[in-house]
Amino acid sequence: MAEVDKKVIAICGAGGCGKSTLVEDILFVNKKITRKGSTEKGNLTMDFDSEEIERKVSIQLSIANISQNNSTIYLIDTPGYHNFIGDALCGIRASDSAILVVDIQEGVKAQTERFYYDIERENKPFIVFVNAIDKENSQFANAFKSINELFKAVAFQIPIKENDKVVGYIDTLNLKAYDFNQKEINLPSELTEEANNYHSQIIEEVSSLNDELLENYLSGEELNNKLFNAILKEAISSQKIIPILVGSALSGYNTQKLIEFANAYLPSAKNEENTSKALVFKTYNDPQSGKLSLLRILSGKFTPDTIYYNLNKDQEERIGSIQTLIGKNPTNMTSAEAGDIIAVAKLKYTQTADTLSNDKKDTPIEFVKMPLPFISYAVYGSSKNDDEKISTYMSKILESDLTLSFKKNTETNEFILTGMGTNHLEVVVSRLKKFGLDIKLKLPKVAYKETIKDKTTYKARFKKQTGGHGQFGDVTIEIEPLPRGAGFEFVDMIVGGAIPRQFIPSVEKGVKSAMEKGALVGYPMTDIKVKLIDGMYHPVDSSDFSFQMAGSIAFKEGVLKCRPTLLEPILEMEVFVPEENVGDIIGDINARRGKMLKMETYGKRHNFKQVIVLIPEAEILEYAPTLRSLTAGRGFFRAKFFGYEEVPAQKAQKIIESFKAQE
C-alpha cells in the first residue's frame, strides 16, 4: 500500500472574508458532510461553539480533514478578528502552509496584513484565495492591487464576467478558460491581453529560478513541463512565488480547484526525527465534555493507551483513545503519524504549547509568541463567595486561550482580566456563566497613592484609664517627603531611654498602619520618612498597643500639616501604528497627558512606527477602541508600569470631590 501524503493547511483571513464557509464547501464537495451549513443558520461545521453560533463569527480554531489523490489534507480554520488572534496564531504554528482568504470587494484589511506578517514570521508558504468573486460590482483588479501593495503575488486565475455576472475563470498558467463546472470554454477576447500578461509573468519568474528553463525561455524553445512544475512547486514552497486563485465559497465556485492546487503545490508534512513527537496547539475546555487537547504529530507514531512524556512539565502523560475531528465530530483512530492532527481527552498535566514525546531527553518545540493582551477590566462576582470559583474556572479558560491574563491587583483588591479586546472579554464572561457564575465587568480602579510635599514635627499622646492598668504612650515624630519611588523610611533617634527599646518597633508599626489610609482620599501613602525623635513612657501603663496608637495618631494628625497630595501610576506605553496615523496618535496622547519619549521604525513593517510614551494609567483605561478607530484597526499597543507622579491639582481636586460624593 502506498504511503499517504499528509498536509496541514491553516485557513486564514480577516473576519468576514468567508473562511469557515470555504471549509464548509470543501468538506461538502469531498463528501465529509452531507449538506452545507451557513453562518446565518448557525450550523457551520467549523463554528460549532455556542458563542460562535450566537455571534456569527469564529472565535476559536477548529480542524477538519479530507482525502484526495492519496493525500490526507488537514484544514485548520482560524478566527479572523483581532480579538481572537491567539487561536489563529496557534493554527498557523501547527500548519505546514496556509491559504490566505481575501474578500474581492474589501481587499486587504488590517487583519489580512497582520496574518501576512504572522505567516511570514513562521516561514510558511501560502496561496491567496480571492473569495466572493460573484459579488455585484466587484473588481478583481482592485483586490489584486491591494494584495500587491502588501506583498508581491501572481494571478494564476482571473474571473470571467458577462454583463457584470461571473461565469467562469481563466487559468493563466495554461491559458485556458473554464466555467464553474470545470468545462472548458472560449477565452474571452477582451481578457486575452490581461491573461497573456499574467501568463508571461509566471513563465518568466519560474524560468528565472533554473538555468535550463531560463536558457530555453530566452531562446524561445519549448519548456520542459516536468521540470517547470517541479521548479514552480519549489518556488511556492520557498515563498518566491505567491499564487492568487479565485472563487466563491458561498456559491461553491472553484473551491475544489483551490484544494487541488494546494495539494499539488503546497509542501507535505516532514518526518525527520526518529522519536515520536507532538505539539499541543489547542485546548478546548467545556463544562459538559471536559478537556480536549489537539496535537499535531511532528514525527514518529502515536498510539492509544500509551504513556508519553511531557517535555515542558517533566511529567508522564497517558494518552487514552485518539481521535480525529471534523468540527466537533470525532472519529476514532488506531494510530497517528507525522502530519496527522489528533484529539486527546483529559490529559492531566498537558496544556497548549507543550510538547509530548516518547523520549524524555528530547527537546521541546518552541511555541509561537503570543501578543500581549492590552485591554483590562475588573471581574466581579455576584458575591464575595464567588472569588474562589472565579479563580478555579478562569484557570480552565486560560488553558484554552494564551492571550488572556488574569491576576489579582493586591493594591485595589480586584481581579483583573486582560485580553485582546472588549468582545474577547465578553466571550470569557459568557463562558464563566456556563460554569454557573454571574459575572460583571467594570473598569479597573486606578491604584492611586498619596504622599506629602512638606515636613513637620508632631507630638501625640495616647492615654486611657479603664480600671486596673491603663494605657500610656507619648511620641514626637518628624515627617518629611522622600524622593519619588523611595517608599518608606523609619529612623529611630531616641536617646537616653525616653522610650524603652522594646516599644520602638510598636511606634513604627503604628505609623505604617496609619499610612495604609491616606489623609485625602484614603489611598495608601508612600515616599515618606518618619523620624522618632522623642517620647515618654509610664513604667506600668505603657505597652506595645499604647505606642502603636501613639505612633498612628501622631502620623495621621501630623501628615495633615505636610501638604498631602495625590500620586497616580504612570505607564510606559509602546504604540505601534501605521506611519500615516502617527500625527493623530501623538495628538490623542497629548490630550491624555502623555509625554513622548521616542519614535522609531517597527521591525520589518517599514510603514509602521513604534511610538514610546509615558502616560497616566487613568487616561488609557479605555484606550484600545480609540486606537483601533484612529488606525482603522491596524494599531496596537502594550504598556508596563513605570512609576508614580503627582496628579495635577485640578485633576486631583476632581478625584477628591468624586470620592467625597460616594461617601
Instruction: Dump pLDDT digits (tens) for 506-517.
Output: 999 999 999 999
The span from the CA of 530 to the CA of 245, in Å, is: 74
Nearest in space to 596 (alpha carbons), one of 617, 606, 607, 582 = 582
Residues 6+ away with beta carbon under 8 Å from 616: 568, 569, 570, 571, 592, 593, 594, 645, 647
Helices (H) and strands (E) in the chain, counts: 16, 34
pLDDT of 1 over the 50 cut: no
pLDDT of 353 over the 70 cut: yes
pLDDT of residue 387: 81
pLDDT of residue 496: 87
Per the document, the length of the chain is 663
When pLDDT is cut at 50, 70 and 90, the band that residue 660 belongs to is confident
Give strand pairing partners of 277. Answer: 299, 357
Maximum alpha-carbon separation in the chain: 117
Mean pLDDT, rounded, for 346-355: 95
Burial letters 419-437, b for 16+ CB under 10 A, else e: bbbebbbbbbbebbeebeb
- % of the chain with per-residue pLDDT over 90: 78
Instruction: Dump pLDDT digits (tens) for 84-112.
Output: 999 999 999 999 999 999 999 999 998 99
Mean pLDDT, rounded, for 626-639: 88
Q: What count of Cα atoms within 13 Å lies in the side-chain half-sphere of residue 65?
A: 22
pLDDT of residue 468: 67
Instruction: Dump pLDDT digits (tens) for 466-485.
Output: 666 789 999 999 999 999 99
* Secondary structure of residue 210 in the 3-state scheme: coil
Beginning with the edge strand found earlier in the chain, give each strand of the sheet holding 456-464 in spatial order.
456-464, 471-481, 528-536, 488-492
pLDDT of residue 104: 97
pLDDT of residue 511: 97
pLDDT of residue 434: 81
Mean pLDDT, rounded, for 32-36: 94
Mean pLDDT computed over every residue of the chain = 92
Q: Which domains, ranges and CATH numbers included, belong to the chain? A: 5-153+242-265 (3.40.50.300), 277-357 (2.40.30.10), 375-442 (3.30.70.870), 450-562 (3.30.230.10), 566-661 (3.30.70.240)
pLDDT of 605 over the 80 cut: no
The span from the CA of 45 to the CA of 32, in Å, is: 10
Burial letters 440-451, b for 16+ CB under 10 A, else e: ebeebebbbbbb
Locate all alpha helices (DSSP H) within 300-421, ordered by sequence.
Answer: 386-400
DSSP assignment of 421-460: SHHHHHHHHHHHHHTT---EEEPPPP--EEEESS-EEEEE
Instruction: Dump pLDDT digits (tens) for 299-328.
Output: 999 999 999 999 999 999 999 999 999 999
pLDDT of residue 372: 79
